[in-house]
Amino acid sequence: MKPSHAPHILLVNPWVHDFAAYDFWAKPLGLLTLGAILRDHGARISYLDCLDRFHPFAKAGPLPPARCGRGPYLKTVIDKPPGLADIPRNYCRYGIPVDWFRNDLESLDPPDLVLVTSMMTYWYPGVRETVEVVKSVFRGVPVVLGGVYATLCADHAGHSCGADRVVSGPGESTILPLVAELTGWSPAPRFDLQDLDALPRPVLDLEHRLAHVPVLTSRGCPFECAYCASHRLQPRRMHRSPASVVDEIVHWHVNHGVDDFAFYDDALLVDAERHVLPLLEGVVAAGVVVRFHTPNALHIREINRPLARLMFRAGFHTIRLGLETISFEGRQTMDRKVTEAEFVRSVVHLKAAGFNARQVGAYLLAGLPGQEFSEVEAAIALAKQAGVTPVIAHYTPIPGTPMWPQAVAASRYDLAADPIFTNNAIFPCQSEDFSWEVLTRLKNLAKV
């Protein structure tokens, strides 16, 4: 029945099914922002997180300071998907047990609508299981699936995950019409949904415990890297004002005791003079003592001496640089982000500012189509020689990216048949003679 009043809308962050998963400052920021928009228009919002490390039934003790808010998920070993039985690792459901989730659902007033998000394309089995449990408890309640997987693999999501509706792309401008269609509730927009500064803060206050907070200061990326889906996920480049970002950081720190913040930007340092420099100056002026982390790679050539110093003063703690590969000749076909000289120069600036090797890591892509592992070994050596930590980033083939045809041609799996085969943990674009011993050797080489 269509509600005659503001509806009750349930947000759900689904389980992850994978060979490995860890909370590296991960939050479903898009879903929580949509929840904030709906709540600001009068809807009643509930939130259940299948990955909740601080669920009331869990034995979550004090947070180890060295982890800066990160930590392991609960996990349950489950059967491997068809086609991956030969992978010599356990396959797990990461997150709370099924009976905890079912109990949480049954404890709620029945919602009028359920919004489920999605992340990695090959995590869809966890999305499907989540939707199945939701629909078994709330029969007849419409379930809408959005997020990264729903955007990149909309057709697959439509026939594989059981949702009543699959929505692609950013949802801010479409969420109110969608809710009106599915519930009959149609409030007039109270603010400009295309203005990032006008959007309310995400409903992170609905978390059981806030160990860290994601911050998104801009959307989109001016680069078009062959392996990246940023342009498909967010084709338009948009910025928030530095003042609004500072206000948000101060809010979560002062009112909720949050010390750790992870920047989710794809291009945080681009146009630094007008964006990140005044932002960080505002953080310093506010006098808050916090730690900033950059799980998404920073663009190396933007880092100069003044910026490095300001990053140190503002509280940057975990820095990841997008080195990716040291095959600089012919790199134009993959990305145009950095030269070897720019990488070495940026590291010099960061170390002079006070950062140490454990704080600064260089992402190195491994498992690219046609890539020799000797190239990764050489990249590890260059990172160590520069005095930073090599961080091996397993390549994930992504549909619709320029590198996708190469990935399909190089893979020992039928990537186009099923997103499950794009899992970067199985190195899908390596040849039939791929050796897990090689991966072990690379991990050992990367240790600092």
How do residues 95-139 score in pLDDT, each as one tens digit?
999 999 999 999 999 999 999 999 999 999 999 999 999 999 999
For residue 268, give the nearest of 311, 226, 224 by alpha carbon: 311
Whether residues 126 and 236 fall in one domain: no
Q: Residue 190: CB partners within 8 Å, gap ≥ 6?
A: 40, 41
Q: Report the C-alpha gap between 302 and 398 in whole angstroms.
A: 27
CATH number of the domain bearing residue 288: 3.20.20.70
Q: What are the Cα distances from residue 54, in Å, to 72, 130, 209, 268, 278?
A: 11, 19, 6, 30, 35
Backbone angles phi, psi at 51, to 5 degrees: -100, 10
123-146 b/e (C-beta count within 10 Å ≥ 16 → b): bbbbbbbbbebbbebbeebbbbbb
Residue 428 CA, distance from chain mean position: 21
> Please, which pLDDT band fits residue 90 given cuts at 50, 70 and 90?
very high
Please report whether residue 172 resides in a domain: yes
Evaluate if residue 162 carries a pLDDT over 90: yes
Residue 91 lies in a domain: yes
Same domain, 271 and 157: no
In a shared domain, residues 37 and 137? yes
pLDDT tops 50 at residue 1:
no
pLDDT in tens, 180-192: 999 999 999 998 9
Q: How far apart are CA 214 and CA 260, in angstroms?
A: 9
**Cα–Cα distance list, 128 to 121, 291, 361 (Å):** 12, 36, 35
Q: pLDDT band at 373, cuts 50/70/90?
A: confident
Total number of domains constituting the chain: 2
Parent domain of 382 = 212-446
Determine the angle formed by the axes of helices 305-314 and 340-353, rounding to 10 degrees.
40
121 and 22 within one domain? yes
Return the bridge partners of 143, or none.
114
- Average pLDDT of the chain is 93
**Is 200 among the domain residues?**
no
Shared domain for 143 and 250, answered yes or no, is no
> Is 191 part of a structural domain of the chain?
no
Task: Indicate which CATH number applies to the domain containing 158.
Answer: 3.40.50.280
Do residue 266 and residue 379 come from a single domain?
Answer: yes
Does 171 share its domain with 221? no
